Each structure stands twice: as structure tokens, then as C-alpha cells.
Amino acid sequence: MADIKQSILNVEEMQTAGLHFGHRVSRLHPKMKPFVSGIKNNVHIIDLEKTSEEFKKALAFISTMIANGKTILFVGTKIQVKQFVKSNAEASGMPYVIERWLGGTFTNFETIAKRVAYFKELESKKASGELEKYTKKERSLFDKELEILRKKFEGIKHMSKLPDAVLILDVRKDITAAHEAKRKGVKIVGVIDTNVDPNLVEYPIPANDDAISSVKYILEKVSETILNSK
């Protein structure tokens, strides 16, 4: 296993990034109690020492996967984090999903793969000028179709098989992705806020899943680990 340096995670940095802010006390998932250190302004505060412990386990897992040539799919569909998810996935050389999770992406992968192949073929025809033989109206329709396909499949167009693991930045929002991963035996690293069952994933990262600064911090540490493990 590639070495994960202890200094990669810093509790003060995590606090500055706001990883410790959970949800209102009324929304606590009972299984998240061990990860809560207190309450402030009616909001649960996540114990960052425990977050650090779990995050290190997740990073060690990611490091091992990457060192063995495995693929990790990044999933983050909240509007405020989409671009961070995309940029970090691309920098890491990993596939990503930032639009709505398409049901069947894992459980009906063959069908999804056919749609991706069609998208790539249409994209290739557009680039080579092959679509120029069509009328202006027909080309316009192709362009609209390409844009729809790009929105759905751009991040997974080089994913020729199911990923070996998935990083889900908001397990509650993308619960379908988590369920499909479970069904197909794809390991899950997931950001778990105080309103989510940590048992839904193999490698939980107890942290704020709403704040841009929190998600950005987590993504940067994951990307850093991936790049250092190649």
C-alpha cells in the first residue's frame, strides 16, 4: 500500500473548511451519534478527530486502489459543487457524474455503454465534418442531441466497464448511486453528514456535505492522494 502521510489531514484546516457543521439536532440519524461531539445553535457538531480517523481509512483505501490501477467514479450532483467535482476528477484522471444520476448507470451498464458509444460516434462525426452533408435544420437537431448526450455522458465516456469504487459527495442526494453500487459490489467512499446512515457506505467520511469549502477540502485531499499513488 502506498504510504499515507499523517500530515495530509489537519483538524484545524478541516475546522476552517467547515467540515464540522452538521444539521439541526432534529435531523440526526441515530447511527451518527458516535461521530457527534456536541451541539451549537441547535446544530450538531461533528467530532473532527473521528472524521480524521475515518478519512485516513478512506484515503488509504483510495491509495491502494489507485496503486493497483483501479478506477474511482466521482459523484457530486449538487449545483454548488459540480465544477469542483469535475475539475478534481479530470485532474485525477477519473470518471465523474455531476448531473442527475441516471438510473441503471451501474445496474444496467450495458445499455448505458451503448448510449455512450452512440454519443462518442456522433461527437466524432461532428468533429470530422461528416455532418456537414445534412441540411442546416438537421445539423441543428444533431447539435441539440449532442448537447443532451454530452450533459449526460461526458464524464463517463471513457469508462469502458464498471468502476472499482465510487466517491459520493452527498450520499443522501445520490442515494440511488449508493444503492446501485451496493447491488453491483462497487465499494463506496461517501461523505456522511449527521442526517445520513454511515452504514450505507464502506468508507464513511463524517463531514458537512453542503458547504462548498467542506466538499472542496475533501475533493482536494482525495485528488492529492490519487496523484501521489499513481
Task: Output the tens digit of pLDDT for each of the chain's 230 residues.
Answer: 445 443 479 999 999 999 999 999 999 999 999 999 999 999 999 999 999 999 999 999 999 999 999 999 999 999 999 999 999 999 999 999 999 999 999 999 999 999 999 999 999 999 999 999 999 999 999 999 999 999 999 999 999 999 999 999 999 999 999 999 999 999 999 999 999 999 999 999 999 999 999 999 999 999 999 999 98
Based on the domain organization, do 84 and 177 belong to the same domain? yes
Q: CA 208, CA 41: separation in Å to the nearest integer?
A: 16
CA 87 to chain centre: 12
For residue range 159-211, what is the model confidence (pLDDT) as tens digits?
999 999 999 999 999 999 999 999 999 999 999 999 999 999 999 999 999 99
Based on the domain organization, do 16 and 76 belong to the same domain? yes
The answer to whether position 91 is within a domain reads: yes
Based on the domain organization, do 114 and 206 belong to the same domain? no
Q: CA 76, CA 167: separation in Å to the nearest integer?
A: 8
Give the amino acid at 92.
Answer: S
The answer to whether position 99 is within a domain reads: yes
The answer to whether position 27 is within a domain reads: yes
Based on the domain organization, do 95 and 176 belong to the same domain? yes
The answer to whether position 93 is within a domain reads: yes
What does the pLDDT read at residue 230? 86
Based on the domain organization, do 98 and 21 belong to the same domain? yes
Give the amino acid at 153.
Answer: F
Based on the domain organization, do 96 and 135 belong to the same domain? no
Dihedral (CA of 213, 217, 222, 223) sign: positive
The answer to whether position 76 is within a domain reads: yes
Based on the domain organization, do 174 and 217 belong to the same domain? yes
Rounded to 10°, the helix 109-128/136-153 angle is 140
| Counted domains in the chain | 2
Please enumerate in sequence order all residues whose Cβ is within 8 A of that of 136, keeping only pairs 6 or more positions apart, or say none. Answer: none
Based on the domain organization, do 74 and 113 belong to the same domain? no
pTM metric for this prediction: 0.93
Evaluate whether 218 touches 169 at the Cβ level (below 8 Å): yes
Q: Which residue has the cell 456522511?
A: 192
The answer to whether position 1 is within a domain reads: no
Based on the domain organization, do 53 and 129 belong to the same domain? no
- Which of 73, 101, 74, 69 lies closest to 85, judged by CA? 74
- Which of 47, 50, 45, 55 lies closest to 21, judged by CA? 45
Domain that holds residue 149: 109-156
Terminal C-alpha separation, the chain: 11
